[in-house]
Structure 1
Amino acid sequence: MNCKSEDLRLYAITDRHWLNGETLYQQVEKALKGGVTFLQLREKNLDEEDFMKEARKIKALCKKYKVPLIINDNVEIAREIDADGVHVGQSDMEAGDVRDRLGPDKIIGVSARTVEQALLAQAHGADYLGVGAVFSTSTKSDAKNVSHETLKEICKAVRIPVVAIGGITRDNVKELTGCGADGIAVISAVFAQQDIESAARELKKCSEEMVKG
């Protein structure tokens, strides 16, 4: 399954930090209704069994909205539930190893912060890149910033789609115009908002404007 650039317009990454009495399923459905085009299920604290249960439910929901579901880091769970793919960081398995485990028809995303990392990920079979943090972010304390110039260089250097990630909000997304990214990846800009559906709708519009330049 190749990853199309329009699939990455609004890439949402889950976080149960802001559930406030709701279930993750309910919040993800609101985000999908608002226009999220790609979903990454990110679970740092669930045990394997609960992660699997949650992943199966979210997969069915994404299927209903015809949105690809990617599992963060966990290749085994991605394979077990037959998710659309997996996203791995630089310190995780190489894209080529992941491809061997998941097969040729799955989407593989890789995090990159430099042109060298981006080109290597592409050479190893990555379908798209997540590049950042493009702004300071509170959701990933170890994330180092990537300049907009570097984002631009990465987008020019690779043939695969690139999604910008890290501290993106509706107020700063315009600053990424002209960098060449195919979309934006967000966590709190959707899931920490009181009205998740309208936040997603507005961000998707902002992302489309950024891409058009």
Structure 2
Amino acid sequence: MTYSSQQIKELLKVYFIMGSANCLQHPEEVLRGAIKGDITLFQFREKGNGCLQGEDKLQLAKRLQSICQENQIPFIVNDDIELAVELDADGVHIGQEDEPAEDVRRKIGNKKILGVSAHTLEEAEHAIAAGADYLGIGPIYPTLTKEDAKAVQGLTFIQELRESGIVIPLVGIGGITAENAAPIIGAGADGVSVITAISQGKSPEAAARMLAVAVGNEDQRI
């Protein structure tokens, strides 16, 4: 399907990123709990020490994708374009050191979601021109999850992008918890993306729900 900008803004509200190396429990259990806690989008990011490779990575991706499909949660793949195409994933997220955004857009087609990390106004404008559907902005706060993380930008870059007239959906990443998520939305982001705040929580469901409440996306039935 083709996603509108408004749909993507809604999907970014509670954006969960995870791979096997990030989990304290089985990845499938973590993802199911996170979905019960109202995440809106999932990204499979199998990187870091002890991450799976080859067939093991493929099979985990298939299992997590199946859980997402059962629950109508779009399944995004980080960086691995071949895997995304093989799985017919809902989209791809790439960083500035990955394949050029225009090449990725050509490979995945126009109906898939393309997210691009941006750290400068120039990078943001190039990503938009190349066909990005949303931008990942960060790290907002200090983070230990990514070994190659850029310098902390706080909330200022989100504000700078909005003040420059950029209206593309934005999601903040880096060191985000339920306690510090609200100012990111206040600065102009459409949502927050987290890894360990959910994947290493005692209860992924409770952790996800707290984030949902913090960004104003709590289930009204609760």
Q: Match for residue 163 of structure 1?
A: 171
1:182-206 CA-to-partner distances (Å, cap 9, x unmatched) read 0000011111110110110110110
Aligned counterparts, 1:42-61, within 5 A: 42-44=45-47, 45-61=51-67
Query: 1:207 and 2:215 equivalent?
Result: yes
Report how far residue 96 of structure 1 moved.
1.0
**Displacement after TM superposition at 1:177 (Å):** 4.2
Residue 17 of structure 2 aligns to which amino acid in structure 1?
I
* Residue 94 of structure 1: how far off its partner (Å): 1.6
The letter of the residue matching 2:213 is K
* Residues 1:178 and 2:186 aligned together: yes
1: CA distance between counterparts of 2:200 and 2:34? 11
- Deviation (angstroms), 1:158: 2.2
Instruction: Work out whether residues 135 and 168 of structure 2, in 8 Å CA contact, stay in contact via their aligned partners in 1.
Output: yes
The SS at the match of 1:208 is coil
Q: Give the alignment partner of residue 29 of structure 1, picking from 32, 53, 56.
A: 32
Q: 2:17 aligns with which of 13, 20, 43?
A: 13
Q: Distance in 1 between matches of 2:34 and 2:214?
A: 15
Where does the alignment leave 5 or more consecutive residues of structure 2 unmatched? Answer: 218-222
Superposed displacement of residue 18, structure 1: 4.9
Letter matched to residue 178 of structure 1: G
Matches within 5 A, 1:53-72: 53-72=59-78
Letter in 2 for 1:172: N
Paired residue for 2:156?
A: 149
- Matched position secondary structure for 1:178: helix
Q: Which residue of 1 aligns with 2:220?
A: none
Distance 2:111 2:22 in 1: 33
Q: CA deviation at 1:142?
A: 2.3
Amino acid at match of 1:183: G
Structure 2 length as normaliser, TM-score? 0.89
Q: CA deviation at 1:154?
A: 1.8
In the TM superposition, structure 1's runs of 4+ consecutive aligned residues that sit over 4 Å from their partners are none
Structure 1 length-normalised TM: 0.92
Contact 2:20 2:52 (8 Å CA) reproduced: no
| Contact kept? 2:22, 2:195, Cα under 8 Å | no
Question: 1:183, 1:208 within 8 Å by CA — same for their partners in 2?
Answer: no
1:28-87 Cα offsets, whole Å, 9 max, x none, are 111011101000000012112111111111111111111111000000000001000110
Q: Is the 8 A contact 2:184 2:192 kept in 1?
A: no
CA distance in 1, matches of 2:148, 2:87: 29
Please, which of 78, 95, 101 is the counterpart of residue 95 of structure 1?
Answer: 101
What is the RMSD of the two structures over their aligned residues, measured on CA atoms? 1.5
